[in-house]
Structure 1
Amino acid sequence: MTRTCLAATLYRSTLALMLSAGTAWASEDIADKYPQSELYDKPVQVLPGVYSAIGATAPPTYENSGHNNNLSFVVTGDGVVVINGGASVRLAAALHDEIKAVTDQPVKLVINENGQGHAMLGNAYWADLGVDILAHVDAIHEVEENGDFILQGMERYNRDKAEGTRVVTANLSFEDKHVVEMGDMVLEVLHLGPAHGPGDTQVWIPALSLVIAGDIAFHERMPPIFADTCTSCWIETFDGPFMELGATYVIPGHGHPTNMDLVVAGTSDYLRDLRDKIAAHIDAGGDLAGAYYVDQTRWRHMDTFEELATKNAGRVFEEMEWE
């Protein structure tokens, strides 16, 4: 067995043990796990060449600097691919400092997993360095339409930490699939279908059986459902092409690296359960006011439950009322 294969086997075994033991759970109650950095937590190596700075599972705050999603990067041997631009230029710079502590290879590509602020507001930092930025066409459209509004929201909670951040859209786009061949790595940048929001993007690394899933997959915090989210479409995309990847390892958009079983429970199972509860409520003649109170206690263990459970129920009612 080669040294590379042995290293990969050891990392996979270690990760599998960590996941099965349930030792990687996050908490939304910890304001900042890495106070010497703008990052919420220091990047960890998930598999050989793949690192992720795991964000808070709480809403974005001044204390966590808006780092409430996962900022990942792949060291390919001929450059670094970053997944998510970060919620501000300061956060992007902090991530870059950590990358430079790991490797002297330059960052050659940044991928935005969607058009939300914590995925793209740091784009300005990378663009100023001349780094290409890739996003799905729908995510680019989202930034073009709502970027200024998203920036203003970040400025409200991040105050002085927002200094220097401006809206920069990706200069590269794709629709269904974009293959990145760099160094020793092949990354398939995918849009598998409608899910959590416009332009949801997954990065599939077949050689490692790893998917950097973005916001199609949740397990430690409750999935947020937006006004334009189609939950039936999300389930169809998740249970279909996403599951068909056959990934062994998953870096979700939020929360620690995990496996498919846990993101199925935290995503598809949750969405199905909520839709079943709302369907029963509608069949019984229930209205929107009552929909907010359907029983979701099964999911109370998930972070952001208090912030999202009732909102999600109301949005699913509004969706299903016309199905």
Structure 2
Amino acid sequence: MSKKAFASAADLEEKRVTFEQLSEHAWAYTAEGDPNTGVIIGDDAVLVADTQATPAMAADVIRRIREVTDKPIKYVVLTHYHAVRVLGASAYQPQQIIASQDTYDLIVERGEQDKASEIGRFPRLFRNVETVPPGLTWPTITFTGKMTLWLGKLEVQLLQLGRGHTKGDTVVWLPQERTLLSGDLVEFDATPYAGDAYFQDWPQTLDNIAKLNPQALVPGRGPALRGEAQVQKGLEVTRAFISDLWACVKAGADAGRDLRQVYEETFAKLQPKYGHWVIFNHCMPFDVTRAYDEATQYPDPRIWTAERDRQMWEALEG
């Protein structure tokens, strides 16, 4: 393999943003495979799920919300703890920042390291990183399992349907409109990042999403999904990638092959099917490393630091 630029350091191309209405109260802010933001405009307030990576980038989300409503942005929901999803929160000046207790615990345990690690990996996504206030983004309300909010007459459910992308994953569900904001549990035309994942749990969590029978879905990356068939496709391709990668890594680990060998085999096997997806080259070293850990001796994800990122990249891509 030729040596690749570290992570997404060479990814500097601006993406075209789309802001579209999915159901009566739900909107999707998407950007050609960059991290998405979901917006719920209720009777009396707005809820934003996943904030963008910096307040400067969140300002674009706010500008688009203000083109369709002047209702206050009362709630920010963190679907999980990753910096690229949470560090823009301060821009919204919400009354409450809500996350699962598991997400809160992960911020306590590894928030600082994750922040340094992600800023190093994705320079373009952390545009105007100096606008991020000092410290971490802390939830003001946490829940376990399920929490229901009422935005006037609109019911909004925050649900933990199982571990997958992280142990704290939360989806935002509008039961009246059958519309779901999935965070990074579901991706479409974009490679799932699985460096903090639970590979053996993730497919079941996707099945739990499918049981809700969503008619519209905002994935973590990629275009918004409309209609049962498209939503089903999004769930299927995410499940296929996770399952294919896990099967390949597990077989290599069980055969006693080292991480570098397993990585090269897995990359070669998955590349023809998934290599056209956004951030495939970026995610694969992290994904295979986590899968190899889970298949060998680490049931829970190890903490990524900027230094560990570089060492891993050098070991697999050097």
Q: Which runs of 5+ in 1 are unaligned?
A: 1-27, 35-40, 58-67
Partner of 1:7: none
2:189 to 215, 220, 224: 220
| Counterpart contact for 2:163–2:198, Cα < 8 Å | yes
Find the aligned partners of 2:77 and 2:37 in 1 and give their Cα distance: 10
Aligned to 1:114: 80
Paired residues for 1:93-242 under 5 Å: 93-126=59-92, 129-153=93-117, 157=123, 161-166=128-133, 167-226=136-195, 228-239=196-207, 241-242=208-209
1:248-300 deviation digits (Å, cap 9, x = unpaired) = 22211111112332223321111111222234334544332211122112222
Higher relative CO (Cα under 8 Å, sequence separation at least 6) belongs to 2
Against the structure 1 CA distance between its residues 251 and 154, is the aligned structure 2 distance closer, same or farther, given a 3 Å change threshold?
Answer: same
SS at match of 1:200: coil
Unaligned runs of 5+ in 2: 1-9, 300-318
Paired residues of 1:144 and 1:169 also in contact (CA < 8 A): no
Equivalents in 2 of 1:160, 1:287: separation in Å? 37
8 Å Cα contact 2:15/2:31 also seen in 1: no
Q: 2:243 aligns with which of 247, 259, 272?
A: 272
What amino acid is aligned across from residue 292 of structure 1 in structure 2? Y
C-alpha distance after superposition, 1:90-126 (max 9, x if no partner): 2223322221111111111111111111221122223
Partner residue in 1 for 2:222 = 255
Report how many residues are paired: 276
Q: Which residue of 2 aligns with 1:48?
A: 24
Deviation at 1:47, TM superposition (A): 2.0
| 3-state DSSP of counterpart to 1:73 | strand
Amino acid in the other structure paired with 1:144: V
Distance 1:108 1:179 in 2: 15
- Percent identical among aligned pairs is 23
More off after superposition, 140-149 vs 187-196: 140-149
| Contact 1:291 1:314 (8 Å CA) reproduced | no
Instruction: Give 3-state SS (helix, strand or coil) of 2:200's partner.
Output: helix
What does the per-residue CA deviation read over 1:204-255, in whole Å, with 9 as the maximum and x for residues that have no partner? 11111111111111221111111x422001122222x222111122211111
Tell me if structure 2 keeps the 8 A contact 1:215–1:253.
yes
Q: Give the TM-score normalised by structure 1.
A: 0.77
* Equivalent position of 1:8 in the other structure: none
Shift in Å, 1:177: 0.5
Q: Match of 2:264, SS?
A: coil
State the superposition RMSD in angstroms: 2.4
SS of equivalent residue, structure 1 residue 251: strand
Amino acid in structure 1 at the alignment position of 2:112: D
**Alignment-mate amino acid for residue 159 of structure 2:** L
* CA deviation vs aligned residue, 1:162-218 (integer Å, no higher than 9, x gap): 223122301011111011111242111111111111311101111111111111112
Take 1:32 and 1:302, find their aligned partners in 2: how far apart are those partners? Answer: 17
**Contact 1:87-1:117 at 8 Å conserved across structures:** yes
Aligned: 1:69 with 2:45 = no
Counterpart AA for 2:70: D
Q: Distance in 2 between matches of 1:236 and 1:137?
A: 21
Shift of 1:303: 1.4
Distance 1:160 1:246 in 2: 37
Three-state SS of the structure 2 residue aligned to 1:196 is coil
Helix, strand or coil for the counterpart of 1:208?
coil
The amino acid of 1:31's aligned partner reads E
